[in-house]
């Protein structure tokens, strides 16, 4: 599925945000930085998807990445100064953002980083929506999203999508 993006400005969203996070039972703080990427390199994001996704229907062609990166708001997620993932947002209606891509490298998953990043984004929008797959649906539901409907065969034949939203 190829998302459709339009050129938009995001004056109410962040340019950079730093959050210190502590996991329960771990005295060490983790610094998470969410930074707008004003000049995203297509090759970089195209290659990163192969580290994150392993299902062929989730892999976008280089040209798709180029179009998305040139028309949507791209944020790099860094943890302790190291690239950890990205989130790509598209403005749909005033105050509503659609998550085109939200991904973390495997070594950063399951540590509360994704939830922290979503919470930071939600502070700045009225409504956040996305289509996700069965495997990631529990993460989004635990992060405050509500399932609105199932989209049969959204990703591929037999692979449904799930439309989710979070209103603030």
Domain presence at residue 138: no
Q: Is residue 36 part of a domain?
A: yes
- The pTM for the full model equals 0.82
Residue 152 lies inside a defined structural domain of this protein: no
Q: What pLDDT sits at residue 11?
A: 42
Confidence (pLDDT) at 93: 83
**Residue 5 forms part of a structural domain:** no
Burial class of residue 71 (count of CB atoms within 10 Å of its CB; 0-12, 13-18, 19+): middle
Among candidates 91, 90, 86, 72, which has minimal Cα distance to 114? Answer: 86
The answer to the question of residue 117 being in a domain is: yes
Supply the pLDDT for residue 53. Answer: 87
| Domains identified in the chain, total number | 1
- Residue 140 in any domain: the answer is no
Contact at 8 Å (CB) between 94 and 88? no
Q: Spell out the per-residue pLDDT of the chain, length 168, in tens.
A: 333 333 333 344 556 566 766 566 666 788 999 999 999 999 999 999 999 888 887 888 999 999 999 999 999 999 999 999 999 999 988 789 999 999 999 999 999 999 999 998 988 888 999 999 999 999 999 999 999 999 999 998 999 999 999 977
Tell me whether residue 99 is in a domain: yes
Q: What is the pLDDT of residue 1?
A: 38
Domain span at 39: 16-126
**Lookup: tokens for 36:** 């707008």
Annotate 90-154 with DSSP letters as a single string.
Answer: EEEETTEEEEEEEEE-GGGTTSSHHHHHHHHHHTT-SEEEEEE-TTTHHHHHHTT-EEEEEEEEE
Q: Hey, which residues does 8 pair with through a beta bridge?
A: none
What's the CATH code of the domain at 48?
A: 3.40.630.30
Does 55 fall in a domain? yes
């Amino acid at each position: 599925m190829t998302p459709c993006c339009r050129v938009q400005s995001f004056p109410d969203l962040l340019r950079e945000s730093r959050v210190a996070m502590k996991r329960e039972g771990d005295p060490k703080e983790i610094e998470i930085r969410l930074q707008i990427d004003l000049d995203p390199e297509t090759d970089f994001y195209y290659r990163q998807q192969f580290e994150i996704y392993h299902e062929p229907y989730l892999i976008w062609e280089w040209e798709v990445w180029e179009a998305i990166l040139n028309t949507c708001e791209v944020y790099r997620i860094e943890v302790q100064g190291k690239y950890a993932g990205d989130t790509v947002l598209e403005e749909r209606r005033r105050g509503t953002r659609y998550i085109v891509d939200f991904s973390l490298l495997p070594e950063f998953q399951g540590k509360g980083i994704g939830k922290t990043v979503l919470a930071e984004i939600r502070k700045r929008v009225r409504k956040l929506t996305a289509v996700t797959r069965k495997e990631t649906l529990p993460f989004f539901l635990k992060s405050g999203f509500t399932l609105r409907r199932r989209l049969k065969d959204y990703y591929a034949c037999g692979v449904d999508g799930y439309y989710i939203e979070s209103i603030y």
